[in-house]
Amino acid sequence: MKFVDEATIRVEAGKGGDGCLSFRREKNIPFGGPDGGDGGDGGSVYLHVEEGLNTLVDFRHARLYRAGKGQTGMGQQCYGRKGEDKVVIVPLGTLVYDEDTGELIGDLTEPGQKLLVAQGGVHGLGNIHFKSSTNRAPRQITKGTEGEERDLRLEMQVLADVGLAGLPNAGKSTLISAVSAARPKVANYPFTTLHPNLGVVSLGVAESFVIADIPGLIEGAAEGAGLGIQFLKHLSRTRLLLHIVDIASEEVGNDPVEDIRVIEKELEKYGPELLDKERWLVLNKTDLMLEDDRKILTDKIVEQLGWTGEVYNVSAVSGEGCKELMYKIKIRLDEIDQKKKETEE
């Protein structure tokens, strides 16, 4: 399925039904009086989160979502039927913006969450409401109001505990396939990954977390180069970033330190909060180097960067170091959760 993470739709709530102008007409009741009932309220439009969806692609084909109109009131004090609500199913992690004002209307992050995006019109009043001692045959009613109409911009942001960032061919897809049941496409050319891949890392009963393979970034990504800015935003929801680096790239003339700095610049351009997010350095493809050479290069990278965070050597192909890394991540995520809980309390 094609991954689509942005879409624009139009939602139109239903108009409220008009009130009824009616008088009681029955044999032997010459002065029956007014009996016009109220109209029904217009239907509203809601967005509803449903698990299992991972794309907004359906909204590229169906852009208009309209709720039902309220029924007009009837005689004999009968009220009109309420218009049918329109419920639009969206994936978990959808941000909802008003297209005209840019206002963030809602952030849908919980399964089953429901968001009202267009309020139905209010029903009109029948003439029964306007009867008084001085006006026994009122010919006054009110009309139902129009329902809300608006254009919405939907943006989907992947919900994951851990995000993988790095240049193309750093081995992110291989790593996620090594530690989870996800099976992303893997090949030796740039931009193999064209959409975020989610994998669940299971370390035991009730011991799991979600990891996201974000498509490879290149220099200028924050301005839209390569796969561009559309995927940088998926890193913003993660609690921990793993910066994946091809440590063996030096042997083919590349500089791993410069590769790391390229990604850091793009994170900073997109938003300083991304660069400030906790980030671990994961030096991948260690199976392509001798152990002594690997240690020398790792020390060199740490020294040149002035890196003070966590550093790990792994081989996604052979699995070396991957399991230990996943356990370290789970421990850290638990610590982050505990700290957040204590702060809230």
Task: Please say whether the beta carbons of 159 and 113 come within 8 A.
Answer: no
Cα separation of 4 and 53, whole Å? 11
Same domain, 339 and 244: yes
Per the model's pLDDT, the better-predicted residue between 49 and 238 turns out to be 49
Cα separation of 244 and 215, whole Å? 12
Same domain, 179 and 134: no
Find, among 199, 123, 109, 118, the residue nearest to 155 by Cα.
109
Same domain, 194 and 296: yes
Same domain, 75 and 143: yes
**The predicted structure's pLDDT at residue 201:** 87
31-45 pLDDT, tens digit each: 678 999 999 999 999
Same domain, 242 and 258: yes
Task: Please say whether the beta carbons of 279 and 243 come within 8 A.
Answer: yes
Lowest mean pLDDT among 38-42, 269-273, 280-284: 269-273
Same domain, 264 and 210: yes
| Structural domain containing residue 219 | 162-344
CATH code for the domain in which residue 77 is found: 2.70.210.12
What is the average per-residue pLDDT within 112-129? 95
Cα separation of 51 and 48, whole Å? 10
Other Cβ atoms closer than 10 A to 54: 18
Task: Please say whether the beta carbons of 73 and 126 come within 8 A.
Answer: yes
172-205 pLDDT, tens digit each: 888 888 888 766 555 444 444 456 677 888 887 7
Task: Please say whether the beta carbons of 288 and 318 come within 8 A.
Answer: no
Cα separation of 28 and 262, whole Å? 91
End residue of a domain, out of 118, 138, 156: 156
CATH code for the domain in which residue 308 is found: 3.40.50.300
Q: What is the mean pLDDT of the chain?
A: 84
What is the average per-residue pLDDT within 38-62? 87
Query: What's this model's pTM, rounded to 2 decimal places?
Result: 0.64
The gap between the terminal CA atoms of the chain, to the nearest Å, is 43
Same domain, 152 and 175: no
Tokens 């939602």 — which residue?
11
**The predicted structure's pLDDT at residue 211:** 87
Q: What are phi and psi of 282, to 5 degrees?
A: -115, 105
Same domain, 217 and 247: yes
What is the average per-residue pLDDT within 323-341? 91
Same domain, 71 and 1: yes
End residue of a domain, out of 105, 122, 156: 156
**The predicted structure's pLDDT at residue 42:** 97
Same domain, 35 and 151: yes
End residue of a domain, out of 156, 184, 210: 156
**The predicted structure's pLDDT at residue 318:** 92
What is the average per-residue pLDDT within 12-33? 85
**The predicted structure's pLDDT at residue 225:** 42
Give the DSSP H or E segment for 174: helix 172-179
Lowest mean pLDDT among 3-12, 85-94, 201-210, 217-226: 217-226
Instruction: Please give the tally of structural domains in the chain.
Output: 2
Find, among 244, 262, 263, the residue nearest to 312 by Cα.
244
Cα separation of 215 and 193, whole Å? 5
Task: Please say whether the beta carbons of 20 and 126 come within 8 A.
Answer: yes
